[in-house]
Chains A and B, each alone.
Chain A
């Protein structure tokens, strides 16, 4: 327990650093947010009035302390380009992104881990080659290209996928909100129409988003497995006449899993970055498309909030990875 508290305390300096960096980076960005918001036809007086409203006329240092004070009160600021507080915007959009990320990572795990294990066990055989090609494609295809291609092929040409316009098909009402996750909420309210529709809608962007993770996780699983499979205790287990399935699944995979867990954690953090692109292409109403729009509008507060959120998620996922590894491997716990 003291390990967890120690780790949580260690997050504080990291977060302070992140807050300062984000604030400075958004301010260094060229372009006047007031001018963008007012439009090209507005005169200088209108722009100036808006600058005062937005607090941009204040010196940088007082803007920073104002931001810090708001942050400590839990106020993430105001999104000028949507007309809502950032907290309100995030509350409606975060569940969409979280659901997409979770489904993506599930797909990645279901595909990548068996693929990685099999590639290692059947090294240089057909399945290993297939795995290599899948990883190569997944790692090298830009997400936006893959997304556009998927929409063109599966929606426009084949008609398998529903229209790429968000979390649920047109004409189907979203389920009653409980968790904000459509898949969970529709099951909770027993609304199978909404469940199938949201499943159909999420599966395509989630597949696209998962390709990078599939590549990374399967490759990492393969190399970790290869290393373990070459060790003496595995040979001993096999020569004792143990069932090969048990040797691979229990003896070998458990020892390979810490490095797999680590890469899964990293990939989950990366998904937020990928979501920015995938969401924009699939009109997915999550934080990713939100931050894209905010950057276009030079709207500082949402960009700051998103970056902070991403940093927090990254830190938390890292912590979870370490805790999981500690649970798997006693040596980590006692170190």
Chain B
């Protein structure tokens, strides 16, 4: 009994002490955050880092683009009344202008002299040099650094930086606007002990300050009132992390959130009919392809691969599986990528033609093959089942093996998987980047072992060709060869679906699918 009395006394004294102090909801600030210039967004994941050089998921990238600026950025334009990024045109950001040497291997950037970081430190050429060093030393972004072909980064004076390349490389300017190439406050980073500090802190000059971030619940961004560029219209952005897709849909239709990402295709139609909800669904350069391992029989035979492309129920995939939230894919490169061409691609759903091709290839009675299905995406599963049923009609047996996502990524990276479907988004919206990783013989993600010497030499030739038109011609020729040889069957291009509350204006679609909150406003 003595113990109980003691406990009561302690509890009472705690109450006395804390009871007098102000609590979090007494100063009328509990309703403050519902003002008109605040928006709340629903994301599926909480992000993993605030470090620009290590970020590679939608949520983390969003934070980076809010808190940091880059040397240059993508232009935007209006297409059919909607704002969209024009990735082919690079415009100034931190760099007010730049010059390219005659041999296309040296870029000299002139920096704006009126930019201060959020810490108050001025942004100088030393920060650019330091940031590029951090990028080169990072785990994630270093491969982009290599892909950009950067040789040296030197400060000429406080506001001039020269970057030299190992060879002419048109991808260089395309890569610079990426979140990975953010310019960081190197003085602040040094004061805080180095790059590790960046995982949970920001050191940028961007339009928003990351006020708080808890991957399990929410993040709060607030406007950087001293921003050097156009002041963002939004004062506060609350990003809630909601794993369950159906919850995101319900929150949006109830008006609890003004923006929701990763809306399931099956919910789009219902949301479009909901008052006050606007669905922004448009083609992206995120593709889904059915890869056939060119080194493993019978897919080493071009005719067999072509036969498969005639046995795929393309329309069913678009309407039944994707409910219209996808577009036809007609080349190895997405149709929204500059330099895209569908030349050489004749694939359509035609089982007679498929059967003919199989007979020509020496498989009149069909064959059996292994297909590996990665988990995590319902549409892949549905696609595989539909394709399996169609292939059965031409005598081809497709044995499906299911794998967890992590296991799947590891398995295809061995280059030994006979067939699989996978998605791809080229964050650098350029056929050089895209084909270079996926379909050249040295491509690091060419898991289907496609190997054509002509494609390789066209790609090499194009990558150092400074003239965009000539370059795209070369990429076009490469696509034509690929389309004819069909290392993949093309399934579809995903739409990026963003759900918005009416009155949320300024949303601009980018190939990376990341929302730039500085562009948004609320009416």
Contact = CB atoms under 8 A, between A and B. Distances in A.
A191 to B, nearest CB: 4
Interface string B439-460: 0000011000000000000000
Given A84-B200, A194-B23, A50 B406 contact: no
A257 B199 CA distance: 52
Given A50-B139, A194-B24, A285-B214, A33 B240 contact: no
Interface string B33-73: 11000001000011011000000110000000000000000
Interface in B394-418: 403-410, 413
A170 B40 CA distance: 9
A298 interface: yes
A156 B250 contact: yes
B48 A156 contact: no
Interface string A80-92: 1111100000001
A298 B375 CA distance: 14
Interface stretch (B13-21, B311-319, B497-505): B13-21
B240 A283 contact: yes
Given A83-B48, A171-B33, A93 B24 contact: no
B409 A31 contact: yes
B48 A92 contact: no
A92 B216 contact: yes
Contacts of B413: 35, 44
Interface residues of A, number: 63
A156 B255 CA distance: 11
B214 A188 contact: no
B24 A191 contact: yes
B400 to A, nearest CB: 17
Contacts of A232: none
Given A41-B437, A46-B142, A170-B40, A163 B24 contact: no
A163 B253 CA distance: 12
B215 interface: yes
A82 B413 CA distance: 25
B25 A190 contact: no
Given A30-B410, A31-B407, A296-B405, A289 B240 contact: no
B49 A83 contact: yes
A155 interface: yes
A269 interface: no
Contacts of B243: 280, 283, 289, 292-293
A283 B25 contact: no
Contact of B405 (A36, A170, A286): A36
Given A30-B407, A41-B437, A190 B19 contact: yes
Contacts of A155: 250, 254
A174 interface: yes
B4 interface: no
A244 B240 CA distance: 55
B15 A188 contact: yes
A170 B216 contact: no
B29 interface: yes
B14 A188 contact: yes
Contact of A283 (B49, B244, B407, B437): B244
A41 B250 contact: no
B150 to A, nearest CB: 16
A203 B163 CA distance: 59
A165 interface: yes
B216 A191 contact: no
Contacts of B256: 163, 165, 170
Interface string B265-282: 000000000000000000
Interface string A125-153: 00000000000000000000000100110
B53 to A, nearest CB: 12
B405 A31 contact: yes
Interface string B123-157: 00000000000000001101100000000000000
Interface string A31-59: 11101101111111110011001000000
Interface in A157-206: 163-167, 170-176, 178, 186, 188-191, 193-194
Contact of A172 (B25, B217, B251): B25
A155 to B, nearest CB: 7
B143 A285 contact: no
A148 B34 contact: no
Contacts of A189: 18-19, 21, 23-24
Given A171-B31, A285-B214, A193 B21 contact: no
A166 B26 CA distance: 21
Contacts, number: 171
Contacts of B408: 31
A255 B270 CA distance: 57
B512 to A, nearest CB: 12
B19 A43 contact: no
Contacts of A283: 217, 240-244, 247
A148 B406 contact: no
Given A44-B444, A46-B139, A176 B215 contact: no
A113 interface: no
B251 A163 contact: yes
Nearest to A168: B217
B30 interface: yes
Contacts of A286: 216
Nearest to B375: A296
B345 interface: no
A39 B424 CA distance: 11
A148 B246 contact: yes
Interface string B415-427: 0000000101001
Most B CB contacts (10 A, CB to CB) among A93, A152, A165, A285 go to A165
A36 B409 contact: yes
A322 B454 CA distance: 76
Contacts of A285: 214, 216-217
B108 interface: no
B238 interface: yes
A6 B285 CA distance: 65
A176 B143 contact: no
Contacts of B244: 148, 164, 280-281, 283
B456 to A, nearest CB: 17
A110 B241 CA distance: 33
Contacts of B216: 92-93, 285-286, 289-290
A290 B216 CA distance: 7
Nearest to A283: B242
A188 B242 contact: no
A296 B407 CA distance: 11
Nearest to B34: A171
A205 B266 CA distance: 26
B240 A165 contact: yes
B19 A35 contact: no
Contact of A171 (B30, B48, B199, B246): B30
Contacts of B445: 40-41
23 contacts: A29-B404, A30-B404, A35-B413, A36-B405, A41-B445, A44-B413, A49-B139, A80-B48, A81-B48, A82-B46, A165-B218, A165-B251, A171-B33, A171-B34, A172-B25, A174-B24, A176-B24, A190-B18, A191-B24, A191-B25, A191-B26, A283-B240, A285-B216
Across chains A and B, which 6 residue pairs bring their CB atoms closest together, nearest first?
A31-B406, A285-B216, A173-B24, A191-B23, A30-B407, A189-B23
